[in-house]
């Protein structure tokens, strides 16, 4: 979800206003997924690299995350949305962790869209953590080294409870993956739009899905 800062700069606004506008796009896209029958939506909300941003901006983002969870948990319950999260969540401020876990618990029985927030997330870190988990399982005798294959390794990643993505949407015209689900998107279709994230709304997500539906996925075959 890229372009919040540029959206704000183009309007002479502080960056935090761009992040607030981006939060509105989250709601619009969740609604669109509900209309389309999408079962899983993963949003790259805060990367492991984002901790390097100015302290004031990081603190503003954490406050925005708390406010979003506080305001939207009831709505997610009403709309049958199940909230989940991936990443090194223990690095989040304690108040954010508490609010996040509460929202996850309160929506855990929902059976509609699963909304996965990638928070303090980096795919390289995830893969390293997965390797450590496999090594530990071998050392403790739970698995044999000969059993290790892509399917087994996938079960040691943060995303082990979710299917691999079919479609990756990149906003603001950026032509890079930015350390997002590197293992999982091996065969995902990629859709790039020049729209900045705060301008990406309901109809834009529907157009991305329609574009995906027109493609022929070969998975290396003919």
Question: Would you name the residues annotated as active-site residues?
Answer: 2, 50
130: CB partners within 8 A, 6+ apart: 153, 156, 157, 183
End-to-end CA distance of the chain: 33
> Can you say how many angstroms the Cα of residue 12 is from the centroid of all Cα atoms in its chain?
28
CB 38 within 8 A of CB 113: yes
Judge whether 41 and 118 are in contact, CB under 8 Å: no
β-strands 189-192, 40-47: how paired?
unpaired
Task: Confirm if 121 and 50 have CB atoms less than 8 A apart.
Answer: no
- Is residue 28 classed as helix, strand or coil in its secondary structure? helix
Residue 188 vs residues 12, 39, 84: alpha-carbon distances, Å: 36, 16, 21
């Amino acid at each position: 979800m890229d372009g919040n800062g540029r959206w704000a700069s183009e309007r002479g606004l502080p960056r935090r206003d761009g992040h607030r506008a981006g939060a509105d796009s989250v709601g619009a896209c969740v609604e669109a997924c509900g209309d389309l029958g999408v079962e899983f939506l993963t949003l790259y909300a805060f990367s492991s690299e984002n901790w390097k941003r100015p302290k004031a901006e990081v603190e503003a983002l954490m406050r925005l995350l708390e406010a979003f969870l506080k305001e939207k948990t009831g709505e997610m319950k009403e709309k049958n949305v199940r909230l989940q999260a991936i990443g090194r969540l223990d690095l989040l401020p304690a108040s954010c962790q508490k609010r996040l876990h509460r929202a996850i618990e309160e929506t855990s029985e929902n059976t509609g869209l699963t909304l996965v927030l990638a928070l303090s997330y980096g795919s390289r870190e995830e893969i390293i953590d997965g390797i450590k988990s496999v090594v530990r399982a071998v050392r403790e005798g739970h698995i044999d080294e000969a059993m290790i294959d892509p399917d087994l390794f996938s079960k040691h990643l943060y995303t082990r409870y979710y299917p691999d993505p079919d479609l990756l949407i990149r906003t603001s015209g950026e032509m890079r993956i930015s350390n997002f689900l590197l293992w999982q998107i091996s065969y995902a279709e990629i859709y790039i739009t020049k729209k900045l994230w705060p301008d990406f709304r309901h109809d834009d997500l529907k157009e991305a899905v329609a574009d995906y539906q027109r493609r022929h996925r070969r998975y290396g075959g003919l």
